[in-house]
Structure 1
Amino acid sequence: MASAGLYPELDGTALTQFVTALEGGGTSTLSPALAEEAAQARGQVEFFTVRVPVDPDASGGSTELDGAGWQPKGAGPFPCVVMPAPWTDLGWLTYAAQATQIARRGYVVLAYTPRGFGKSGGEVDVAGPYDVRDGSAVIDFLLANLPAADPSRIGFLGDSYGSGISLLVAANDPRVKVVGALSTWGSLFEAFYENGTSHTASVDALRGAARNARLSERTRWAFDQMQNGDAVTGELLQWAEERSPRNEIDRLDRPDLAITFSHAWHETLFPVNQTLELFNRLSVPAKRIDLSIGDHSSPEMTGLIGLPNRIWNATHRWFDYHLKGLGELEESTVVSEIMWSKALESRADWEEATGTPVRFHLTGPAAGGTDGGLADKPQNGWSTAVSTGTDTPATVADAIIKTGYAEMAGKPKVYPTAAISRTAAAVWTSEPLTEPAKVRGIPSLRLTFQPSAANATFIAHLFDAAPDGNASIITHAPFTTQDATPGEPVVAEIQLQAAGYDVPAGHRLMLVLDTQDPFYGDANETDSKITFSSPEGNPSHLDVPLA
């Protein structure tokens, strides 16, 4: 759900000037790239703004959505692309440069601002039933008012918030034949609650980005519930699942629907696993996913400001093939940009893209040491305790989105492992690797722990630790248990987020478990402890998929 406030690159003034140039010429205020785009577009497409009437919501009164259209000059008929805007006050303006490029490729394009944002009426429904019906109403409007539009060739394309709306509209309107879902979600619930832990920073960021939007009472209630981090209610679960494309699998699995996804490995708003689950459960004949270095929407951002972009270029080719019959369909359905080499790996499916799990057993610290080991054989009978309530340098990221931009620039966050308090965190390290380790897929952790209180939260971080003691994060996952019996063992089965990462030879794998992170809700009670162990017959271990 991208916001101009979260993305400095998304310059609303520049996009407004670009639209002004489309309407009346004059490109002196534009960058060279946008000036050339606008000048060429004026000879090829017609641009116009629209107001799309839709059903009123609970707030009452007539409701119209703010939008804009691009129509190629000529008789047509032309295939159509509908673009619901991201989670931003800029609304459809976000797509001004990208929609122009698509229209110049021979498409009728209609971009619109979802209800509750910008100049659209109504209240924010968070990809709920009103938003789904709005998508169909936009199709009706397009076909009724643009005679060059081909009703048999319609696609939906969106980034972030617009991507989830696109998937849900496609599930409910068979007129949609192609979907581009960039930085999307599969399960809204699992995006905000992972292993019983609330993603409070994500909800805070989304709410901050929507501070000028008109949130419905139901939306405010849902955000309050998620920010409070209370135990999940059935009502909240129902709200989230109603807005989850994963629950529409049966209706998305149409033989005439083609879907392309993109996602970032270190996504902090909608972690990648829940989107991968949607991708892998789909059995549509044509599907594709592109996984990149970065964070939410950042891999696509240069395309939104009119510059060449790998994700958008691949999406253009996808629509050209499925709506225009041009080009060739790529044999690979999974394309991965590997951290930090930026090498691209193309594989036929997720199974082929995933490595073979290699088991590392958690062992106790050596005599006089503090850190346990990650070994090839189990060691039972040890235990190590950490105190809750203190954060450590082992964190998910410095900031939502911004850390991802640094990663894209080849400057991943540096973690000084010696500064991680061994009383506030438990640490296990492997021996130095004798050859590079290619992490491909979803690492998993099986762990026994004893909380001293009924509620406990910890965060598992998997690091690539260099010989100098500094580390880069490979992946992570939080875990929370509530209403446990204090002092009784709890067995946790934790899937960390998927990763495509190359660990150099000579480096070590490092697992760090601490109890606080500014990204997550904290269920720990004051002055409590968590004791990790590896009991006989049930050894604690970390499985890392290595190619």
Structure 2
Amino acid sequence: MNPAVNPAANPPAHPAPNPARPGLHPGLHSGLHPELDTAALTAFAAALESGDTTGLPPARAAEVEAVRAVAVFSRGKIAGAQGDLLDAALWRHTGSTPRPAVVMPSPWHPLGWIAYAVQASLLTARGHDVVAYTVRGFAGSEGQAELAGPLDVADGSRALDHLLERTAGPVTRIGFLGFSYGAAIAQLVAAHDPRVDSVVALSGWGDLGRVLYENSTPRTAAVRALLSAAARARLGARTQRALENVLADRDAEENLRWAERRSPLTHVKELNRRQVAVFLAHAWHETLFPPNQTLSLFNELTGPKRADLSVGDHGDPETTGLLGLPNRVWTDAHRWFDHHLGGVDDPIADEGEVLTEAMWTRTLAPAPTWHSLTRHIRRLHLTGAAELTAEPDPGWSATILCGVDTPTTVAEEVARSGHAELAGLPKSYPAAPLDPTVAASWTSEPVREPTRLRGTPRLRVTYRAPNPGSSFVAYLLDLAPDGTAHLVTHAPYTDLDPTPDTLVEADLDLQATAYDLPPGHRVRLVLTARDPFYGDANHPRATLAFTSPDATPSYVDLPLG
């Protein structure tokens, strides 16, 4: 590759992510990716078209000049489904050499395809013909956004048609690459269009139903974030209704049927039948598209596959790469396409299916499969003494009040918690004791040696709800000797049984994690009846009484690496 277009060779100066954030207003911000520098990306796209690199940083100017030396850049419109015109850009090599092609559907962002201006140029410099387009309903594209519906899938195939009709030479293999919303569309097009050979899906979803509802709990803050980020987009009426249904906690079954068609997991058999090579990247503390639903898709894939799991929140692991800064995930995405589209003998094919980045050591470790990350399970029982121990302790009860906020919450804002994590400043929970009337907690003995949590923790707990319908949120925390704590993982749970005064046996997976507990630290499990990130089925001022019967003891399973 020409070093002039290698972002690692000439990284521009760029400020570190600012960990300071406003108070808890989940989803109420201008975009899902506020660190995207709109002005810089727009200037880069303008320079691609004009050739005038005045005002660009030297590294970006070199990239523009290098890609214009080997390819023709042009902006235009693609005729999408139902005749809707989609705003797009094309990077086309002039020679007749056979080469691979890449299609890039845009994220859920008003920038549209311009978000890919730098990365599409880098892919072009690596020998690909590229088309990037703005998905329907956003920015300069016509139509209405339908959250990866059939028209979005048809648009992706039309964009591929547009590219194939304009390439100067034969196209060897075809890839789709998407970031965030574009990642979901990329996977769905790959499942429906037999021409697609490989996919790179960065911070997307595998199962939209579990994005909207987790363990039957409406993910209200995530939906508010999607609506807020689409404030300047044009949402289809059915999409608008589906999102509003989540906020209003109505028609969940209808919503799940609607979401099923929009889920790559629903179409995984077709991806497997054609052995499409799939590269997935995700963040551990994803507040928008929680990681377990993506891992469910990954585990069902039987073709060439790779999952890259990193520190951060939605899009954090990849955003710096969109700006042209050195970025491990984008580097591996390029290698993935080099190998599966370009035929390059890259060792990425033999490095294992999973690459994990642990919090907060940031150590990277490959694994042959997802399940191989977990070597064994340590079971800790919940006891009446508020401890986590190896032996069960039946018969106790811990009662908490519903409808009350507590200091233990998932994050400050949807899709923003990871910026502080990337800077090494994760959300810190106060050292003050939790109020036992609104939060039940259990704490383990200090670990004696570094303890590697690797995989999916699982909680079983029994509780009594006096009213029909009940909810709680479980948090697994790393408790330091000074009493402060950091979030390891969490999950909500809702029981929809209409029978009052019900004894509920809750079994739930917490979100997957890779977390290293230092010696002297403890594991703390906290259960609360309310978190502003989620819908709440509890009756105000009702209570939940957690317990541990002889027949079904309450415990948490910790996956150890």
TM range (shorter): over 0.9
Identify unmatched segments of 5+ residues in structure 1.
57-61, 366-371
Report what 1:293 is aligned to.
311
One of 390, 394, 412 as aligned partner of 1:376: 390
One of 166, 174, 186 as aligned partner of 1:154: 174
Paired amino acid for 1:390: V
Q: More displaced, 505-514 or 487-496?
A: 487-496
Q: CA deviation at 1:202?
A: 0.4
One of 30, 35, 43 as aligned partner of 2:56: 30
Paired amino acid for 1:15: L
Q: More displaced, 139-148 or 125-134?
A: 139-148
Change beyond 3 A, Cα 1:506–1:74: same
Report what 2:24 is aligned to.
none
- Alignment of 1:391 with 2:405, yes or no, is yes
Distance 1:214 1:419 in 2: 47
Judge conservation of contact 1:337–1:343 (CA < 8 Å) in 2: yes
Judge conservation of contact 1:4–1:12 (CA < 8 Å) in 2: no
Judge conservation of contact 2:93–2:168 (CA < 8 Å) in 1: no
Distance 1:428 1:159 in 2: 39
Deviations 1:225-259 (A, max 9, x none): 111123512x2111100100000011010344211
Q: How does 1:192-271 map to 2 (within 5 A)?
A: 192-230=212-250, 232-233=252-253, 235-271=254-290
Q: More displaced, 439-448 or 516-525?
A: 516-525
Distance 1:331 1:18 in 2: 34
Paired amino acid for 2:271: L
Distance 1:302 1:330 in 2: 27
Q: CA deviation at 1:416?
A: 1.1
SS of aligned partner of 1:307 = coil
Q: CA deviation at 1:6?
A: 3.0
Judge conservation of contact 1:393–1:419 (CA < 8 Å) in 2: no
Paired amino acid for 1:347: A
Paired amino acid for 1:363: T
Report what 2:197 is aligned to.
177
Judge conservation of contact 2:207–2:293 (CA < 8 Å) in 1: yes
Residues matched between the structures, number: 532
- Alignment of 1:425 with 2:443, yes or no, is no
Change beyond 3 A, Cα 1:31–1:229: farther
One of 163, 173, 195 as aligned partner of 1:142: 163
One of 66, 74, 84 as aligned partner of 2:95: 74
Deviations 1:246-275 (A, max 9, x none): 000110103442110000000011100011
Q: CA deviation at 1:483?
A: 3.4
Judge conservation of contact 2:93–2:167 (CA < 8 Å) in 1: no
- Alignment of 1:312 with 2:330, yes or no, is yes
Distance 2:288 2:77 in 1: 31
Percent pairwise identity: 49
Report what 1:59 is aligned to.
none
Paired amino acid for 1:186: G
Q: How does 1:357-506 map to 2 (within 5 A)?
A: 357-365=377-385, 372-506=386-520
Name which structure has the greater RCO, CA cutoff 8 Å, separation 6+: 2
Distance 2:539 2:505 in 1: 20
Report what 2:115 is aligned to.
94
Q: CA deviation at 1:414?
A: 0.4
- Alignment of 1:327 with 2:345, yes or no, is yes
Report what 1:368 is aligned to.
none
Distance 2:548 2:145 in 1: 48
Judge conservation of contact 2:86–2:134 (CA < 8 Å) in 1: yes
SS of aligned partner of 1:450 = strand
SS of aligned partner of 2:153 = helix
Deviations 1:401-427 (A, max 9, x none): 221111011111101142532110000
Distance 2:275 2:295 in 1: 21
Report what 1:281 is aligned to.
300
Distance 2:532 2:62 in 1: 44
Judge conservation of contact 2:32–2:109 (CA < 8 Å) in 1: no
Paired amino acid for 1:208: S
Identify unmatched segments of 5+ residues in structure 2.
1-26
Distance 2:88 2:406 in 1: 46
One of 47, 59, 63 as aligned partner of 1:21: 47
Distance 1:97 1:28 in 2: 16
One of 31, 41, 60 as aligned partner of 2:67: 41
Q: CA deviation at 1:288?
A: 0.4
- Alignment of 1:190 with 2:210, yes or no, is yes
Distance 1:321 1:214 in 2: 38
CA-based RMSD of the aligned residues comes to 1.5
Paired amino acid for 2:111: L
Report what 1:510 is aligned to.
524
